[in-house]
Amino acid sequence: MTSDVVVVGDLLLDRDVVGTVARVCPDAPVPVMEAETELARPGGAGLAAALLAADGADVTLVAPAADDPAGNRLCDLLDAHGVRLVALRTEGTTREKVRVRAGGQSLLRLDYGSACPLWGPLPPSVAALVRDANAVLVSDYAGGVTSAAAVRDVLTARTNPLVWDPHVRGAAAVPGATLVTPNLEEARHLSGADRDGSEPARPGRARSAFGAAQMHADRLAQRWQARAVCVTLGTRGALLSYGSGSPLVVPARAVDGDACGAGDRFAATVTERLARGDVVSTAVQAAVTAASQFVAAGGSGTFGERGFDDSTDHSADGTGAGVARIDVVRRRGGTVVATGGCFDLLHAGHVALLQAARRLGDALVVCLNSDESVRRLKGPDRPLVPQADRIRVLQALGCVDAVAVFDESTPDAVLRSLQPDLWAKGGDYALHDLPEAAVVAEWGGQTVVLPYLEGRSTSGLIGAVRERDR
């Protein structure tokens, strides 16, 4: 189903200048970066709209667009990403955000341009676009469009789902917004807590991040008359409040990566899911997962001139997240460890192996036999635990960073794709007994054998259960 979504907000042109640093400037203690590439992409509301278009939504973006070189480049990028732009007149200049990056890290950010508030009347077509959309996303980047009375009147009059992604220097959401999506700092400021000096929940003890998020969310929901507020908490996930009562907390999977644009990814996913008819809580859960995957895949840095780099598979099998995680660790000079198996009926022996393997490096990827692969290896009555559940159990372990599923009888193909530095197996193997050792050696990787806990095995557990049932 194609969702018709309208995005209203402020445009930016984002550019990443990427290079390498190998020396320090002779006349000042600063790094000298040799610039190698530049990646340009829509920023602000433009990024949210482009992400929605990449998801398959039919997207119209309503935003002030300046007639200058940066603005013209931005319009071309939006068109290339499949976003229809209704350009509102403005006397401002296009804002540009330039990140200077090396080694996967930002060294400096340069900002250019000025705010682009709406100038002149709102085109009559905008009201119809907003009214007829399946959902509306307001992406406020403090450029002034959300403060315009004509824009606010149109947004207030709509009856479809409205997601408001706020900015600390932006406007308040119109009354009746379906969902407001601030991060914790934005929620604290917008709820007024940083101005009235709200007291901790208990004397002498500071609130937890979740306690603070609930307080700010409840206050903001009441202050802005929003139906719900979802405070995003980075690696902790998100907290959804309806203004009173116990909140819904959606944990996030811990990932490393570039978090730039994660808020736009979250807001875009929530909006698209609401446009499809999902309830708010379901939409928030999908958005937390999408934001985590987005960060693991490299964040907005993967969204360049040619569009979103979706070569990484974000399906439930976890393979895409595994590849992305490895890329991040490798860029930082870390060691990637992989191990493999069926992991049917996860037991203490499995856990000990996984913990030991993780201690060997900076990331552990589990190469998991698919259901069909397990049946070929173990027989038609296996696995006892289906693939999706085995993935979920493994991902819940703190020592496992990602799961990569393979359908073959051996993990050779997925190993060649992942190319880990270490391949670890448990048991009484000699290296010549492990066929994967030759595969791992192709890229200079090393195969190691780890001790295995005595008397723990899946087949032993199955046999014990069957014996008891006799």
Phi, psi of 300 (to 5 degrees): -65, -15
Spatial strand order of the sheet with 11-24 comes to: 31-44, 11-24, 95-102, 105-112
Q: Largest Cα–Cα distance of the chain, in whole Å?
A: 83
Kindly state the tokens that stand for 40.
Answer: 């340009």
Q: Which residue has the tokens 């610039």?
A: 35
Q: Give the DSSP letter of residue 89.
A: P
What is the Cα–Cα distance from 470 to 466, expressed in whole angstroms? 7
Residues forming the active site: 264
* Residue reference for tokens 């589990």: 366
Provide the 10 A C-beta neighbour count for residue 257. Answer: 22
Label the pairing between strands 95-102 and 105-112. Answer: antiparallel
Q: Are 420 and 440 in contact (CB under 8 A)?
A: yes
Helices marked H in 238-379: 262-275, 280-296, 319-331, 348-358, 371-378
What whole-number distance in Å separates Cα of residue 156 and Cα of residue 279? Answer: 21
- Whole-number Å distance between alpha carbons of 339 and 420: 9
- Distance CA(331)–CA(134), nearest Å, equals 41
Tokens 């902790």 locate to 236
**Cβ-based neighbours of 21, under 8 Å, separated by 6 or more:** 31, 32, 33, 34, 102, 103, 107
